[in-house]
Amino acid sequence: MSLFTKRPYLLALLIAVALAAWLLSGQTTDVAKPSTAVPPKAPPSLISVRVREQKAQSLTREIVLTGRTAPLRTVLLRAEIDGHVVKIGAQRGARVRKGDFIVRLATDDRALRLKEAQALVKQREFEYKAKRRLSRKGYQSQVQIAEALTLLESAKTLVKQAQIALDNTIIRAPFAGVLEQRPVEQGDYVSVGDTVAELIDENPFLIVGEVTELQRHDLKLGNTATARLVTGQTVTGKISLISTRADAATRTFNIEIEVANPKGELAAGITCEIRIPTETVYAHKVSAALLSLNDEGVLGVKAVGSDNRVVFYPAQFARATAEAIWLTGLPRRLRFITVGQGFVRAGDLVQPANEK
């Protein structure tokens, strides 16, 4: 039988001593403790964007609107006396010169009335001269002389009236132009005020259009404008009228551009595109695909600054076409983000790469 069997307390004492020795050895032994320091974070990777550097170009800002051609003046010729149409001087569509006769009315007894009035003038002149001679001899008073002079002037008035009535039997063109309408034919009877013909002045011609309230502010009389007709013709003229009253329904203002038409090639009512240059600005030509909205909902473009940070510029349009847009109010030289603008915001640091 062993000693620990006979005395078990000795085994317990031995175990206690061994445990105490092991605990004391942990305080004296240099044991490496795990490090609690936080390792430094790796810098975030920069977003790569593709940029295109370009320089602003000089651009003439224009007002573009739709208009139409129109004659400078259109006149309705009306009969000033009653009578039958006895002769036609010009056919519809014919070009006439100033003074050409278009319609002749019957003179009836107007020529006879003129001769009668002329004869009466001769009689009154003879009576007036005779009374003046008698007045020198004292046989006529000044009242009788005045009455004779009044009768003479009345007779001269009758001659003028008869001459005017005779002249009015011939209706002439007041200016050179095109005879657009002539609603009477030979044998028709016309009364005073009836329309006999419509005459259109061909040269100069007008281009008419409508501008908005803001556009009117940029226009001045005498500004040069160009119009391209749907027929392919292009004409240039100057603004001759800017309306001072807006249309009550559309709130737009009428403008007229006077253009030369010496050969009569323009016709009234043809649709055209009007371009009116207003000022010259510096602008960048970019694709409409570069436009985007910022957090406030403002439309603009994104570019990369000298510090490689994204800059947002609100869009100020100088011109827009189906192919491209021109933006003004930007720095003269700029690096536009062409690829990746949807993944960055203003202020972000990016890694730009130039377009190839």
Closest by Cα among 276, 338, 268, 267 to 304: 338
Euclidean distance between CA atoms 344 and 338, whole angstroms: 12
Cα→Cα distances 324→125, 239, 286, 321, Å: 86, 29, 6, 5
Q: Both 338 and 244 in a single domain?
A: no
- Number of structural domains found in the chain: 3
Q: 138: left (phi > 0), else alpha (psi -120 to 50), else beta? A: left
Token pair belonging to 98: 């100033």
Contact of 207 with 227, CB cutoff 8 Å: yes
Q: Are residues 54 and 88 in the same domain?
A: no
- CB-side neighbour CA atoms (13 Å) of 338: 14
Of 251, 279, 307, the domain-final residue: 279
Looking at residue 25, its pLDDT comes to 60
Shared domain check, 249 and 164: no
Task: Note the pLDDT of residue 54.
Answer: 93
Residue 273, domain CATH: 2.40.30.170
Judgement on whether residues 185 and 106 belong to the same structural domain of the protein: yes
Residue 41 covered by a domain: no
Could you tell me how many residues make up the chain? 356
Do 245 and 267 fall into the same domain? yes
Q: Indicate the pTM of the whole model.
A: 0.65
Among the candidates 176, 200, 224, a domain finishes at 200
Q: Are residues 210 and 327 in the same domain?
A: no
**Residue 31, CA distances (Å) to 5, 27, 38 in order:** 39, 9, 21
User: Using CA atoms, how far apart are residues 132 and 125, in angstroms rounded to an integer?
Assistant: 11
**Structural domain for 287, as ranges:** 49-59+281-354
Q: What are phi and psi of 344, to 5 degrees?
A: -130, 160
Q: Mark whether 161 and 305 lie in a shared domain.
A: no
In a shared domain, residues 163 and 210:
no
Residue spans of the chain under pLDDT 70: 1-44, 139
DSSP per residue, 158-221: HHHHHHHHHHTTEEE-SSSEEEEE----TT-EE-TT-EEEEEE--SSEEEEEEE-HHHHHT--T
Spatial distance between the Cα atoms of 245 and 335, rounded to a whole number of angstroms: 46
Residue-wise pLDDT for 283-302, tens only, equals 999 999 999 998 898 999 99
Mean pLDDT, rounded, of the chain: 86
Same domain, 270 and 196: no
Q: Is residue 5 part of a domain?
A: no
Q: Which of residues 262, 279, 296 is at a domain's end?
A: 279
Cβ(32)–Cβ(166) below 8 Å: no
Residues 102 and 127 in one domain: yes
Please report the pLDDT score of residue 322 as a whole number. Answer: 82
